[in-house]
Amino acid sequence: MILAIASGKGGTGKTTISLAIAYFLNKRKKSLSIFDCDVEEPNVNLFLNSDIKVTETVYIPVPTVNEEKCNGCGKCEDICKFNAVVLVKGKPLIFPDICHSCGGCKLVCPTGAMNEEVKEIGKLEEGYFENIRYIGGTLKIGEAISPPLINSVKKHIIENEINIIDAPPGTTCPVVESIKGCDYLVLVTEPTPFGLHDLKLSVGMARELELNFGVVINKSDIGDSKVAEYCNAEKIDILAEIPNSLELARGYASGNFMNVFLDNFSDKVERIISKTGIGV
């Protein structure tokens, strides 16, 4: 099973919930994998502290131009929807930082003037902590496009096993790439106006992708009841409500929140696992 954890905004506790589920299942001797797809700011292994066994560099193809073969027809510019290829004085000018590596320009070039070279976009690492296998990616500084690296991380998913995906915040392309194909999506939010606004965006995304999903309201006692009212009105399952905890905040700051979380909120984690079916 693939369980994805996402949130419309940052700071709601997405990684907290991801790791709490993984740690809970680990304590019950369940083998599982956790994937840090927030490749721009990966932090899962800061808390998991797994023993890294494998690292590899991830590359993507980007186009180059053989100007001697180019006839200036402009078909490469026409097919590129991201403006990564622009015709200047009858010759293609390539912007590799916004290229999505679709290969369309090479495919439509009638003279074979478009070629490809590889470009490094980041690193991938694999490690182990007890029964937990960790896979994470780190986007190279200055790179603008993360979905290819996220896709490389997800290629390590093992079918018929437990897979937990810690997605980036928001509702943009990196999030969609992270959560697509999951069996269940957990949306973590907080009971504030910002939390409600971004939760609505996340719900729209989940419904557009036709995913099964539910909501975890974190720090449930710091705001108002509008998030719960919205979920009830929209018939969205509230998987758990987790109150604000100074002890947990201290544990998080020290990098040792998982034991604190399970000592105080193991019933909440067990409810999430039961509702999503990941531990079955």
* Cβ neighbourhood burial of 59 (10 Å; 0-12, 13-18, 19+): middle
DSSP character at residue 279: T
Residue 178 · residue 147 · CB < 8 Å: no
Fold designation for 2-58+123-276? Rossmann fold (3.40.50)
Note the pLDDT tens digit of each residue in 188-222: 999 999 999 999 999 999 999 999 999 999 999 99
The model carries a pTM of 0.92
- Choosing among 3.40.50.300, 3.30.70.20, 3.30.1650.10, 3.40.710.10, the CATH entry for 59-120 is 3.30.70.20
Q: Per-residue b/e over 222-242, b at no fewer than 16 CB within 10 Å?
A: ebeeebbebbeeeebebbbbb
**How many CA atoms within 13 Å lie on the side-chain side of 78?**
7
What's the distance, CA 100 to chain centroid?
A: 18
Domain ranges of the chain: 2-58+123-276, 59-120
Q: How far apart are CA 244 and CA 187, in angstroms?
A: 17
Q: How far apart are CA 270 and CA 120, in angstroms?
A: 41
DSSP character at residue 83: S
* Cβ neighbourhood burial of 88 (10 Å; 0-12, 13-18, 19+): exposed
* pLDDT tens for the chain, residues 1 to 280: 999 999 988 889 999 999 999 999 999 888 999 999 999 999 999 999 999 999 999 999 999 999 999 999 999 999 999 999 999 999 999 999 999 999 999 999 999 999 999 999 999 999 999 999 999 999 999 998 999 999 999 999 998 899 999 999 999 999 999 999 999 999 999 999 999 999 999 999 999 999 999 999 999 999 899 999 999 999 999 999 999 988 888 888 888 888 888 888 999 999 999 999 886 6
Note the pLDDT tens digit of each residue in 72-102: 999 999 999 999 999 999 999 999 999 999 9
